[in-house]
Structures are given as C-alpha cells and as structure tokens.
Structure 1
C-alpha cells in the first residue's frame, strides 16, 4: 500500500512516528480522558474509546486551541462519519480515529513565540518606555471584532 499499511502512514506524519513524543502525548492524554470520563473506580467498564465531548479537551492538551466553530465541525465530522452506512450517529472515538482526526485538523506549523510577540507589536501602541503596549480592553475588542469572530465565552 502507498505510504504503508494500516495506521503506519498516519503515524509517519507525527514527529517521531508511533514511537515519538507526539504519539506518546496523544496516547497519555487519550487515556487520561478515558479516566476522566469513566471515573477512577475499579468497577468501571474498560473502553477503548472516549466520548465526543472529550475531543476538544484532548486537542487543547496537545496545543491546538479550537474555536467553537472548529469544535462543532470536528464533532459533526465524527458524529456523521458512519451515518450513511449505518443510519446511526457515532458518539465516541478510538485512539486510531483520533490520530487521523488530529493529523487532519492540527495546524500545519505551530505559531512560534516570536510570531506571537510580533503580533502584539503590530497591535500595540508605543508606551512611555518605547516598548509596545497592548491594553487588555483593546485586546478584547480586537479578539471579539477582528478576524474569526469570537464570543465572550471563547475570549
């Protein structure tokens, strides 16, 4: 098969592959989401999946901070993934499908701290020390009114 067999092509898209740091983080956070969902009790029923409601938390733990629209789109992608075949909604996701989802939705290149600083320099005004200053109220106005709309809750 082109690119490998089964999950191999997807693992190869993660830094270090299936043995790398990124996959190990995904695995650890995924299992943590299972514990959060199922509880700490020894009587819990082991599952290989997590509910859709845990997906945004898992993505954020991996450094991808989604907008409400992106969360909704991603959850709908999972929810309706098998509907045409089964006429049933998918309400949970396994780790392999999560890896595919993560690879398909993660930012191609993460923003660097230098890029973030540059953005604040562009948005801020020169203060008395000659350094750019961005007042909290100005930042909130920009976040709610420019680019992709953010609600008060998202901000």
Structure 2
C-alpha cells in the first residue's frame, strides 16, 4: 500500500468562523493552529499546507486564566540598539485584542515559510462582524 501525499493544488480549503467569546486563550489557539495546519483532515501531510481559513470573532472577549492579564508581557525588538520593548497583555487587550490571538497561534505553527503561509489564513476581528461573508464560512464548534 502506498502512502498518500497531498499536493498543494489538490487541497480543498474551507472557511471557518470561530467565536472567541469566553474561550481560554491557549485552548482556543491550539484548535485554531490545528485547523490552519490541516491536522484535523485525513489528508494531512507535514510538508504541505493542507489547512483551512479561520475567521476569529469577538477577540476582545477571550479569557486569560490566573493573573496572566496583569503579569504576562509580549516582547518585541525595534531593530535599533537598546530597542527591547515589553507590552503587558492588559494594555494589548485594551488597544489591539486581535494581536493576542495572533501571537498565541503563530507560536504554535512551524517556524518556516510553511508556517508563514499558514498564519496568512488567520483573520482575527475584535467585534462580531467580519468582511468575509462572500466565502460562506461555517461555524466551527469545539
């Protein structure tokens, strides 16, 4: 018996809508990462992007357990000498709650060109509405 290897042009991609309201960030991010990488499909192939598109709504209502909202920080570097920057998750939730989900999911994807292609299929919105109605997305429950 031969193993099936998916080809990029043969993959049928679906669109899913995930409601982040009252969901724990880490558990939500693992489910989204599995959909983006295609691990929920029987045709999953590690070196091919077999994943689907994911639209996340209500990103501003995601939950962080424990004291993470006050204690957890996001680190980035500006590229200049001494350019270390730390932003608390509390400030991120107030200003750009979409970034919290994007950072969590991106950390769970491969660190290669394959992972960069996967993260492009993630669309995160703070509110209820999204501009992707034309793709007829399905509601994804977990």
Normalised TM-score (structure 2): 0.24
Q: Which has the higher strand share?
A: 2
Q: Which has the higher contact order (CA 8 A, sep 6+)?
A: 2
Q: Which has the higher helix share?
A: 1
